[in-house]
Structure 1
């Protein structure tokens, strides 16, 4: 529910009276309730927020005389003259100490001070303005933080949704055409290579997200996973046309997309602060068969590519040359396979610890 709008109210005092000036234009038939200790005002007029309904309540520091008080409505404002009760002395402030309203200001044009109270009033004015600035800064900071949080939720939800749609298309296409209908390798490869390449390019953002603070996870794990996949896809598969005819490539794409069918919905719900028990369970369980299948498929794909790169010598740099460096693609493929075999136990152990942390048995406290 939206907070009520408050008009700007200026106040001043003389020895026997309090004057209020409500900064509202064209007010018609306002509701006004005045007691000894408070004033309530409701009315429709033109104020800081345009033509709207405005209201305020003031709880006075001391008592006023409702019978001796009066108000007057003009086209430009509403004026109150409130009679003080008791001795004719200056009030140190208009309202109770705990009430500090940012819309209540001092009307210095009508202020009458006695003795040496002018310095005190100027000091109060400076403190009041300082408090106002602090409140404005606080409100701006809160608004910026809220806007950033909303943007982050919207962006992360949209990113994960787009990736989910992309990998869903890849999985369904391969399952129907390659697995069920037995479509040829080249046709199946041609049907998914563009959307898969697009999704893998977008996945580079998953390395950037933790670096810029959009997610709280580290950047090392996505760096390893995204870089490893993209090297296999763009450097190995897409640069050797004969690999397109190898069935292991489509099986690799099928396993990759199977993993993402659960991972991206899980992250999409997490980004908006929601959780599905089923999706969470699948996220921390399906990796048990799929990760080994994915790693094995990557190894077999790289192993299949080795004879082709031995013949073509693509990407090989031999000495001597201007840069005085050498690179052998076949040697790199062997190193990549070895790296997968070495890293696999660590990756699987990490995923298993994550699952135990999420779904492990709880011990009772005796």
Structure 2
């Protein structure tokens, strides 16, 4: 067993009588390299683990017994990387591995996932499971089992962190769904989107204010991943909403603002349910596909509309002088808000290109099956659009 890099991702492993499963705890995975051989597995990727931020992680494990490399597979999603290894049949009837590694050395970044230690299809056959554990697992594994907090957790009840995140995602979904519905009804009854902003002004401001929690959650350990990406999303969206639009009554009556809110709300109606389902360790292929497919079109469309709103507001802020500071003053400091918006407009396309779908991701989207977003998740930042 060897590794060329000192940083190892946290790994939880489990097994059945025919398979071995690994959960690699990395988020925002980029450039993954997974090599599964019959007697080893090699891994290298850039990702986030805990509070470390984005780092390069790798490991190489020499397996306890041989596996069928062709029948083995892996999948990358938002929260982790799942690896499934197919055991090769041997003379041992139980076919249970006492450990994952060939060597008996204990690795701090490798832990047993006892929730995934199942050896019988019949859940009532507890005596068989118990005898297998007694025969194949040593005392250290029993201690880990007794200390595993997930074992002590009562099934059917969720922890406070998960309950809060479920409530937050449900609230945001309902709020954005309400915004989308109100704008749709306004369009149907009026025949246009003029003055549509006033119809949903308060709820959209509430949603965007609460989005600061998506920066706080990773900081306090409620969610994994980087806090900077959601922070800049929160900052720039609220610059558009609370400053550029809020202090320009002329742009508020324009149909272009409701168009932007249509884009925001439509995207979030799939993003928040996707997060809620992931919190429950479930998967919905339709929501996953919609969440990652609409993003391709709506991200550049939203960025374009934001830029158009800023451009149309330049004359207003130039004439009114809002947020600009002129000399002379006591602080001997000057700030031209119009110039700031112009610089923002120039830099905006570069920021959009940096976080927009890469060509390889677009190829995966259109060439993969309708519900296969696994490889796309490994190439994309989890951003608001």
TM-score w.r.t. structure 1 length?
0.56
**1:233-244 mapped onto 2 (5 Å cutoff):** 233-244=241-252
Distance in 2, matches of 1:309 and 1:218, equals: 34
Distance in 1, matches of 2:302 and 2:187, equals: 18
RMSD: 3.1
SS at match of 1:284: helix
Match of residue 219, structure 1, among 224, 227, 235 = 227
Structure 1 residue 285: deviation in Å?
0.6
Residues 215, 145 of structure 1: CA spacing in aligned structure 2 closer, same or farther, 3 A cutoff?
Answer: farther
Distance in 1, matches of 2:348 and 2:192, equals: 30
The C-alpha deviation readout for 1:243-293, integer Å capped at 9, x for no partner, is 112211111111111111111110111112111010011111111111111
Asked if the contact 2:310–2:345 (Cα under 8 Å) also holds between the matched residues in 1, the reply is: yes
**1:173-192 mapped onto 2 (5 Å cutoff):** 173-178=182-187, 181-183=190-192, 185-186=194-195, 188-192=196-200
Distance in 1, matches of 2:338 and 2:200, equals: 27
SS at match of 1:298: helix
Match of residue 201, structure 1, among 201, 209, 214 = 209
Match of residue 354, structure 2, among 324, 334, 346 = 346
Residues 252, 140 of structure 1: CA spacing in aligned structure 2 closer, same or farther, 3 A cutoff?
Answer: closer
Distance in 2, matches of 1:220 and 1:349, equals: 19
Residues 145, 283 of structure 1: CA spacing in aligned structure 2 closer, same or farther, 3 A cutoff?
Answer: same
**1:91-170 mapped onto 2 (5 Å cutoff):** 150-170=159-179
Task: Tell me the number of residue pairs that the alignment of Structure 1 and Structure 2 aligns.
Answer: 227
In structure 1, the gaps of 5 or more residues are: 1-133, 362-366
Structure 1 residue 359: deviation in Å?
4.0
Distance in 2, matches of 1:221 and 1:348, equals: 13
The C-alpha deviation readout for 1:331-359, integer Å capped at 9, x for no partner, is 11112212221111111136964976944
Distance in 2, matches of 1:295 and 1:332, equals: 17
Structure 1 residue 138: deviation in Å?
5.5
Q: Which residue of 2 aligns with 1:334?
A: 342
Q: Which residue of 1 aligns with 2:116?
A: none
Larger radius of gyration: 1
Structure 1 residue 176: deviation in Å?
2.1
Residues 309, 273 of structure 1: CA spacing in aligned structure 2 closer, same or farther, 3 A cutoff?
Answer: same
Distance in 2, matches of 1:243 and 1:219, equals: 32
Distance in 2, matches of 1:350 and 1:168, equals: 29
Residues 214, 250 of structure 1: CA spacing in aligned structure 2 closer, same or farther, 3 A cutoff?
Answer: same
Large movers: runs of 4+ above 4 Å: 137-149, 350-357
Distance in 2, matches of 1:232 and 1:263, equals: 21
Q: Which residue of 2 aligns with 1:301?
A: 309
Asked if the contact 2:180–2:266 (Cα under 8 Å) also holds between the matched residues in 1, the reply is: yes
The C-alpha deviation readout for 1:14-70, integer Å capped at 9, x for no partner, is xxxxxxxxxxxxxxxxxxxxxxxxxxxxxxxxxxxxxxxxxxxxxxxxxxxxxxxxx
In structure 2, the gaps of 5 or more residues are: 1-142, 366-371, 377-385
Q: Which residue of 2 aligns with 1:292?
A: 300
Distance in 2, matches of 1:290 and 1:180, equals: 25
The C-alpha deviation readout for 1:72-113, integer Å capped at 9, x for no partner, is xxxxxxxxxxxxxxxxxxxxxxxxxxxxxxxxxxxxxxxxxx
Q: Which residue of 1 aligns with 2:47?
A: none
TM-score w.r.t. structure 2 length?
0.53
